[in-house]
Amino acid sequence: MSESPASAVSSLHQAEKLASAASDAVQETWRKRKPVTNTQVTPDQLREGIDQFFQIAGAIRTSDDDAPYAINNEDVTQIGDYGLSLIQDMAAWAGQMELEAQRRQLDNSALGIAAWIIANKGEIRTAHSIVNAIAELANSTRDPEILASYAKFTGDVIDSCANIITRDLEKTDPLRPWRLLQFNRAIMATRSYRPELMRQAYDAFVQALPEEAPGFFREGMNEMERLGYPEHVREVVQEYFDEWTRRAMN
């Protein structure tokens, strides 16, 4: 597995700390406001589930720790999806109550859960909070080394996505997770200035979103001009731009 984004979340323990702190604030605000809800699971109920998830996940053995229990890949997938769904719902409450800092914390905690799923060879079935956090990472720095680590991590997320995401059935939704993951990986790889990462990301992009490739590389060439990218980066973008412009014209 590639390096997790160190400045965001690099371990399940850090994810738990972020989720707990954010959940505390969401619960406190919810209790003060007492909004009427007939169908939504309350923050208190979600917090109970979040605590349970981290307790279970922390007891499962991975390749690099001494936790007491080991489980199969499908169990990892189901437990991870349970955790991600709870985090997503708690983040929705944070957004509903305009607690933006806490919403971002919860989304970032999803990166730690994703890293845990990947390390244990499970699949990611719920990706909205992961996608939100990765989108923020893509715009959080211009440091090529940091962006390279983010691009690698996003590639791991993409490789671990379940069929429910990779089938990409909601083509009319520009905010669908599969599309945003591909875009952000390709953007971060470009800004890393590493041709090998760029080719990996671009090849995945054109396979996943061939209909968007001409426009993506056209915009990429415009950015090369505006921001003065190094020549070795420009050459890779030019190669894909030429190929996909030619295909679009045929």
pLDDT in tens, 11-20: 899 999 999 9
pLDDT of residue 69: 62
Q: Is the residue at 7 inside a domain?
A: no
Among residues 163, 169, 235, 165, which one has the least CA distance to residue 202?
Answer: 235
126 and 204 fall within a common domain? no
In a domain, 90, yes or no: yes
Q: 97 and 60, same structural domain?
A: yes
| CA pair distance 14, 33, nearest whole angstrom | 29
pTM of the model: 0.90
- Say if residue 151 is in the same domain as residue 240: yes
Instruction: Give the per-residue pLDDT at 1.
Output: 43
In angstroms, the CA 177 to CA 194 distance is 25
Return the pLDDT at 172. 86
Secondary structure (3-state) at 61? coil
Is residue 55 included in any domain, yes or no? yes
Do 159 and 242 lie in a common domain? Answer: yes
Q: Residue 207's domain spans which residues? A: 141-249
Torsion angle, alpha carbons of 7, 13, 17, 20, to 10: 130
Do residues 31 and 93 both lie within one domain?
yes
Q: Give 106-155 pLDDT, tens digit per residue.
A: 999 999 999 999 999 999 999 999 999 999 999 989 999 999 999 999 99
The verdict on residue 2 lying in a domain is no
**Does residue 4 sit within a domain?**
no
Residue 169 resides in a domain: yes
User: Same domain, yes or no, for 129 and 207?
Assistant: no
Tell me: do 23 and 114 sit in the same domain.
yes
Among residues 135, 153, 187, the one where a domain terminates is: 135
Kindly provide the residue ranges of all beta strands, DSSP E only, lying in 17-56, ordered along the sequence: none
Beta carbons within 10 angstroms of residue 163's beta carbon = 8
Structure tokens at 112: 């730690």
Low-confidence ranges of the chain (pLDDT < 70): 1-10, 36-39, 61-70
Count the domains in the chain. 2
> Among 108, 135, 162, where does a domain finish?
135
205 in the same domain as 92: no
Same domain, 19 and 76: yes
Distance CA 206, CA 192 (A): 19
**Quick one: 17 and 122 in the same domain?**
yes
Do 112 and 172 reside in the same domain of the chain? no
**Is 5 within a domain?**
no
Q: Nearest to residue 1, comparing CAs of 121, 129, 83?
A: 121
244 occurs within a structural domain = yes
The structure tokens 């957004």 sit at: 95
Kindly state whether residues 106 and 24 are assigned to the same domain.
yes
Q: Which of 116, 135, 154 is the last residue of a domain?
A: 135
